[in-house]
Amino acid sequence: MTNKLYWSAPLLTSFETTGAALAEHGGKPALVLDRTLFYPEGGGQLGDSGTLEIGSFALKIADTQIDDAGVIHHVLAEAPSADLVSSLGEGVAVRGTVDAARRRDHMAQHTAQHALSRALADVARAETVSARLGATSCTIDVARPGIPDAELHRAEDLVNAVIGSDVEVRALYPQPDELAKLPLRKQPKVTEGVIRVIDIDGFDMTPCGGTHCTRTGQIGQARIVGLEKYKGMLRITFHAGLRALADARAKHEALAAIAAELTCGIADVPGAVTKLRTSLKDARSQLESARTELAELVARAAVERLPSADASPGPIILPMLRPNDDIGALRVLVGKLTADPRVVALAASTDPATGDLVLVVQRGAAVKLDCGAFIQAQAKARGGRGGGRPERAEGRFSRGTSLEVLASAAQAAI
């Protein structure tokens, strides 16, 4: 097993050792050392990255992993040169440097996760089932389908109070009889060998092999930023440390931009948005009334030009191109046109973004055309898409499709 220096010195980011051997992990070249500060991925925490210096060679470590035998593999970002391979051996001097910013970020996220899991259990009776500490966000899955906002806020406040108290975070290595007496939040996954317990000054005690802050003040802050239902549980997304600051800053900038657009203060944005939504609802209502009135006028003019029922009992195919109408206006129009039971109305417009022909087909009560089947057949023949009911259907056809050709197809279908 590799000697884990990070357990006793989590804040240290450089070390020296002798001896290095070439290995492979997951199909990628890696170096194995007798001891290391590089933390391997495990327990929901990502592995460290950094550099290893061997003689004149500076090697970038892209990831750190551990195998079932407890050997830590420093996964190389690039394949090693032949000269490097020939220089490896038991006596070679090695200097390692861990990416300090990445390490401290991981420490803050992991320690915050322990504290937040304890707070959620105490305040919301939500036991942690699993946790994942990702590169950009961290999640905790709890055994409750939902938690009221008030309880989430109390849990968040409790964690930040512990952070503000700047209490000690210790790593304990209890004997089996001592371990049995500790108030652990969860039981260890292993029962043999060294069991490491992270103690946040009595607030939370959890078996864990990850890297952690040495005092809670190093976390900085912790914020719950998202909730998602997941497999009957609740997935809670949180940020700690500089991630929490960056998230709050980004959201503030977004909110400030919205406030500038609405010409109001940031605190006034909710009220301004409510006012805007009300105005939009009124405008849509007015638009719908105008659309209906226009459709009635256009339909009336078109129907008045049709021959009488005695002269032409039908069916009558009535195509109408309305380039600037949206799908809602087309639906209203075909409804008005088919008030004459002889009419099969084909109302179409052009999508301004794509140039596609958007079509709505509706039959009058005296016509037996299956509009849905007609649209599906035309879509298949012309590379379009769409469908609907026998009474009315809608389709979309590529740029250049002729409404007159579709009208002729409808006549042939009848």
> Helix H segments across 305-370?
327-337
pLDDT of residue 17: 96
CA distances from 22 to 28, 61, 79, 84 (A): 11, 13, 11, 10
Q: Tens digit of pLDDT for each residue in 371-414?
A: 999 999 999 999 999 999 999 999 999 999 999 999 999 999 99
Q: CA triplet 3, 117, 217: central angle to 5 degrees?
A: 70
pLDDT of residue 98: 98
The total number of residues shown for the chain amounts to 414
Q: pLDDT category, 296, cuts 50, 70, 90?
A: confident
Beta bridge partners of 44: none
pLDDT of residue 29: 96
Which DSSP category does 273 fall into?
A: H
Q: pLDDT category, 287, cuts 50, 70, 90?
A: confident
pLDDT of residue 333: 93
Q: Tens digit of pLDDT for each residue in 199-243?
A: 999 999 999 999 999 999 999 999 999 999 999 999 999 999 999
User: Which two structure tokens, joined as six digits, stand for 151?
Assistant: 């309880």
Q: Shortest CA distance to 239 belongs to which of 229, 226, 256, 252?
A: 226
pLDDT of residue 390: 96
Q: Which residue has the higher pLDDT, 94 or 325?
A: 94
pLDDT of residue 45: 94
For the chain, domains (ranges, CATH) are 3-98 (2.40.30.130), 104-246 (3.30.980.10), 309-413 (3.10.310.40)
> Residue 262 class from Cβ within 10 Å (0-12 exposed, 13-18 middle, 19+ buried)?
middle
Q: Does the structure show a pLDDT above 90 at 295?
A: no
Q: What is the mean pLDDT of residues 45-55?
A: 96
Looking at every residue in the chain, the average pLDDT score rounds to 94
Query: Could you tell me how far CA 34 lies from the centroid of its own chain?
Result: 40
Tell how strand 89-98 and strand 128-133 pair up: unpaired
User: Which two structure tokens, joined as six digits, stand for 18?
Assistant: 């002798």
Instruction: Tell me what percent of the residues of the chain surpass a pLDDT of 70.
Output: 100
Q: Does the structure show a pLDDT above 90 at 131?
A: yes
For residue 196, count other CB atoms closer than 10 A to its CB. 17
Q: Tens digit of pLDDT for each residue in 351-370?
A: 999 999 999 999 999 999 99
Q: What is residue 399's three-state secondary structure?
A: coil
Q: pLDDT category, 294, cuts 50, 70, 90?
A: confident
- Compute the distance between CA of residue 370 and CA of residue 237 in angstroms, rounded to an integer: 51
Helix axes 403-413, 371-382, angle to 10 degrees: 130
Beta bridge partners of 228: 235
Q: Torsion-angle region of residue 232: left (phi > 0), alpha (psi -120 to 50) or beta? A: left
Is residue 149 within 8 Å of 245, Cβ to Cβ?
A: no
Omega before 313 cis (within 30°)? no
DSSP for 23-68, please give it. EEETTEEEEE-SEESPPPSBTTBPPP-EEEEETTEEEEEEEEEE-T
For residue 51, count other CB atoms closer than 10 A to its CB. 16
Torsion of CA 181, 185, 187, 192, to 10 degrees: -60
